Amino acid sequence: MSTLGDFRKDFDILVNGDYVYFDNAATSQRPRQVLDAVSNFYKERNANPLRGLYDWSMQATESYEDARALVADFVGGVSTEEIIFTRNTTESLNLVAYTYGLDTVKEGDEIVISVMEHHSNILPWQMVARKRGAKLVYMEPDEEGTISKEEYESKITDKTKIVAIGHVSNVMGVTNPVKEIAAYAHAKGATVVVDGAQSAPHMKIDVKDLGADFFAFSGHKMMAPMGIGVLYGRKDLLLNMSPFLTGGEMIEYVTREDATYAELPHKFEAGTVNAGDAVGLAEAIKYLRNVGYDNIEEQEEKLTRRLMEGLSKLPYVKIYGSKDPKKHCGIVTFTIDGVHPHDISSVLNDDHVCIRAGHHCAQPLMQFIGAGSTARASLYFYNTEEEVDIFLDKIAKVREVMGYGA
């Protein structure tokens, strides 16, 4: 079995550069195996999949459908008919909102989301609520970032048609009690949409066990290429949904006036599909499994603990969310008194340390916690303790660089 250090060697960008990359929640890095898999697809069997009746096209189709089968297994052993390839989490969530949401939600209904959601899990539901005369209801977390039982039980009611919730917050790092929320929502007759963008890269996913009727995630946050994402949807729901985009390959038969649609999942995959990146996603899943979720969680927790302990020693640093490093999923959001988060990021960049600063596409949460903007370090299993120490050393100098006394 390889050590985590051995895995790091697969990431040329990390090994060859002198950057500390702590912006993994925005996008991860890719190992050589993933890059090679994509490159080999184009070198060896590139043709338009699902169309041609010659070898290359049929091989491209086979690679694409093999990738789908692996994804179906990755999310907990579901049917391949329930796996739709999209561009990313944002497109997956929009697909659900524009089809299931608009078809199902009626005037006076309620859609429940949380104030911690990424904009990609807010704006589609604002659109549905606006178009259908429904109400958007927000669940709020406590200081630690937790949505309590009292909170979700008071917001999810008989009027609720959809509950859309992030599995892991991209700002607080907290894992929401999705399983409990889903069970309660189902008892009220609501459908549960889970944004798994920040959970799929870090923890074992079982959509059935979670109680997700829909589950969305992006390949690029889990070492796959940018431009490939996934929507899992329960077959009985997908069967009755209208298509999202229409055009080539999603049809069965077209006349001048009308069309019938292809079977699942192709009904939701209009146009030439992204087979090359689906192959990359399959390779990323194999890689992730080879590293092992236990190793990933252990390493992330160790690094997060070191990072939070280091930051806690600085009296002018405020950390948001839980005090327990185990509850951060490698994400630590913080501010430094008197220094704008953009300046923190710029000062760190001068020393080749990459973090994210801003509103993290979660402005309602920023308003809720009373911060216009924050800095965020987000870790992955290939990061090291040495990198955490470099980060802490640079953070300790930020106020000095900005003109405060040492």
How crowded is residue 222: how many other Cβ atoms within 10 Å of its Cβ?
25
Q: What SS3 class is residue 353?
A: strand
Nearer to ligand C6P, 51 or 359 (CB): 359
φ, ψ for residue 52 (rounded to 5)? -75, 155
Residues 73-92 that bind ligand C6P (CB under 6 A): 88-90
Tell me, by CB under 6 A, how many residues bind ligand C6P: 17
Instruction: Give the interface segment with ligand C6P, choosing from 41-49, 56-64, 191-199, 252-260 (CB under 6 A).
Output: 191-199
CB of 124 to ligand C6P, least distance (A): 11
- Taking the least distance from each CB to ligand C6P, the nearer of 26 and 402 is 26
- Is 160 a residue that touches ligand C6P (CB under 6 A)? no
Distance of alpha carbon 100 from alpha carbon 90, whole angstroms: 15
Q: Does 124 bind ligand C6P (CB under 6 A)?
A: no
In whole angstroms, the minimum distance from the beta carbon of 327 to ligand C6P comes to 16
Q: Which is nearer to ligand C6P, 119 or 340 (CB)?
A: 119
Is 354 annotated as catalytic? no
Residues 212-231 binding ligand C6P (CB under 6 A) are: 218
- Which residue type sits at 314? L
Q: Which of 197, 224, 311, 344 binds ligand C6P (CB under 6 A)?
A: 197
Interface characters, 31-70, with ligand C6P (x: CB under 6 A) = ----------------------------------------
Query: Does 198 engage in binding with ligand C6P (CB under 6 A)?
Result: yes
- Give the pairing of strands 317-319 and 331-336: antiparallel
Q: Is the peptide bond before 265 cis (omega within 30 degrees of 0)?
A: yes
132 makes contact with ligand C6P (CB under 6 A): no
Distances in Å between the Cα of 251 and the Cα atoms of 80, 92, 149 are: 18, 20, 44
- Calpha distance 217→201 (Å, rounded): 9
| Cross-strand pairs, 171 | none
| Nearer of residues 94 and 99 to ligand C6P, judged by Cβ | 94
State which residue, 63 or 88, has the beta carbon closest to ligand C6P.
88
Give the whole-angstrom CA distance, residue 378 versus residue 329.
8
Q: Does 172 bind ligand C6P (CB under 6 A)?
A: no
Residue 30 as a binder of ligand C6P (CB under 6 A): the answer is no
Question: End-to-end alpha-carbon separation of the chain, Å?
Answer: 46
If one asks whether residue 120 binds ligand C6P (CB under 6 A), the answer comes out as yes
Whether residue 106 contacts residue 134, with contact meaning beta carbons closer than 8 Å, is answered with yes
Stretch that binds ligand C6P, among 192-200, 245-253, 341-349, 386-394 (CB under 6 A): 192-200
E strands, 63-106, are 83-86
Is 137 strand, coil or helix? Answer: strand
Choose, from 122, 185, 308, 361, the residue flagged as catalytic: 361
If binding is defined by CB under 6 A, does position 166 make contact with ligand C6P?
yes
Residues 256-315 binding ligand C6P (CB under 6 A) are: none
**Residue 114 binds ligand C6P (CB under 6 A):** no
Enumerate residues 343-372 that contact ligand C6P by CB under 6 A. 356, 360-361
Kindly state whether residue 328 participates in binding ligand C6P, applying the rule CB under 6 A.
Answer: no
Residue 300: name the closest of 330, 321, 322, 328 by CA: 330
CA distances from residue 281 to 136, 140, 146, 219 in whole angstroms, order as listed? 34, 34, 31, 6
What span, in angstroms and rounded, lies between the C-alpha atoms of 354 and 24? 9
Report how far residue 368's alpha carbon sits from residue 113's, in angstroms, rounded to the nearest whole number: 14
Cβ neighbours of 301 (radius 10 Å)? 18
DSSP 145: S
Residues catalogued as catalytic = 361
Q: Which residues bind ligand C6P (CB under 6 A)?
A: 25-26, 88-90, 118, 120-121, 166, 170, 195, 197-198, 218, 356, 360-361
